[in-house]
Structure 1
């Protein structure tokens, strides 16, 4: 082809080739724009994923902390209740044991005191009777 078209057909072909070249140029620009958009979307997605991962890690950490604190509180509460129950039971057992032992000891002590009193009274009476008999001769 020479610089100027010689007939209408060549002019149409030249115009068509120019239009095709222009469309190809626009397609290249559109392709570059699409690639840039895809890269931007990919980068934004990676940033979003990183933010979501950070939030999930923080949420896991906070949840674990809450579960740990709740578990510790529940354990302390149960231990406190168990200690209170055991202290009450021990105090009641000691009180009951001491009461029974004191009652038994008191009964035994009273019986021993009565026996000693009777023995002492008998000894004193016998001594007085012996002294009377010795002094008065009867």
Structure 2
């Protein structure tokens, strides 16, 4: 029985050594796998950051373009409105000035005719 017990102990030590070797092999394989996963995660982070940056730049450029178009349209409308107001004011002013000059000219002409009539025909 002692011989059988020694054989069992020897086999238990072999199993223990085999388990240690298996654990070491699994730890090394896990370390290699972990390194690959870490590398892929790092690459994905860089790629994701690049995509986010490109998307943000594109959105910013689109927004700036839209703002420029809106500001340009607003400036054009403001300029057109200002020109229209200026032309209308000038046209009204010119019309009033022409009417005033015409009235004054007509009054002077009428006074001149009345004066000539009074001078020629007496009273």
Normalised-by-shorter TM-score class: 0.7 to 0.9
The CA distance in 1 between the partners of 2:106 and 2:43, in whole Å, is 91
Which structure: larger Rg?
1
CA displacement at 1:20 relative to structure 2: 2.0
The CA distance in 1 between the partners of 2:89 and 2:59, in whole Å, is 44
Is 1:37 the counterpart of 2:19 in the alignment?
Answer: no
The CA distance in 1 between the partners of 2:107 and 2:63, in whole Å, is 64
Is 1:70 the counterpart of 2:55 in the alignment?
Answer: yes
Alignment gaps of 5+ in structure 1: 1-15, 130-137
RMSD: 2.7
The CA distance in 2 between the partners of 1:109 and 1:40, in whole Å, is 102
Normalised to the residue count of structure 2, the TM-score between the two structures is 0.72
The structure richer in helix per residue is: 2
CA displacement at 1:101 relative to structure 2: 0.4
Question: In the alignment, what sits opposite 1:59?
Answer: 44
Q: Among residues 4, 26, 46, which one is paired with 2:11 in the alignment?
A: 26
Deviations 1:77-136 (A, max 9, x none): 11111111111111000001011101212333344456667888999x8xxx9xxxxxxx
| Aligned pairs, number | 112
Alignment gaps of 5+ in structure 2: 114-119
Deviations 1:30-84 (A, max 9, x none): 1111111000111111112111111222222222222222222112111111111
The CA distance in 1 between the partners of 2:37 and 2:98, in whole Å, is 88
Question: In the alignment, what sits opposite 1:104?
Answer: 89
